[in-house]
Amino acid sequence: MVNRVKRRVSCFPKATYYKPREIPLCCLEIANLSIEELETIRLCDFLQMEQSEAANKMGISRKTFWNDLQKARQKVADALVNGKAIEISGGEYVNSGECKVNFLCKECDHVWESKSNKCRPTVCPNCGSTLIFRIGGDGKGKRFIDNNYCCPKEKQQECSEGSKKSGNNSHY
Ligand SMILES: [Zn+2]
């Protein structure tokens, strides 16, 4: 693609990973949705904003918005129909400054919101712990699901077999 315009994004995802139940992570195919693709779905399908208004908000043409939206819908549909996981990360976007980011304290489970253009908090406002993690965000922060985290121990074998014969129903 030539001279790709950076999309303006006003909301970061609350969660960046969706996975079908009972299928181990390593046996899954992953549909990767970019931050700006999710934004098109949020504006158009969730907030039901007019496309021209949504395009304007993201700083792109209506045609570009429509193309992004189609790509996003196709990926989500693919994941739902074919039982794939959805990972929301990456892309080419700029933060409009309105984005809120959630943080979680590992010590006391306190969750709070912070404007993403402010400094990253260093301690939990509830208990003062420094063991805090960003939830979701731009995909560059800490992840709750490590991509190396795979199967629970007992499923290890079943899983490695399953991944060879991709698409079989051994887990049902
Ligand atoms: Zn805390």
Q: How many whole angstroms from 85 Cα to the centroid of ligand 1?
A: 30
Q: State pTM to two decimals.
A: 0.65
3-state secondary structure of 147: coil
Beta strands per DSSP E along the chain: 7-9, 17-18, 30-33, 85-88, 93-95, 100-105, 111-115, 132-135
Q: Each residue of 7-38: pLDDT tens digit?
A: 999 888 888 889 998 888 778 899 999 999 99
Ligand 1 centroid from CA 114, angstroms: 15
Distance between CA atoms of residues 7 and 145, nearest Å: 26
- Residue 131 Cα, ligand 1 centroid: separation in angstroms? 8
Distance from the CA of 34 to the center of ligand 1, in angstroms? 31
pLDDT single digits (tens) 64-108:
999 999 999 999 999 999 999 999 998 988 888 777 778 889 999
Domain boundaries, the chain: 7-99
- Ligand 1 centroid–CA 109 distance in Å is 6
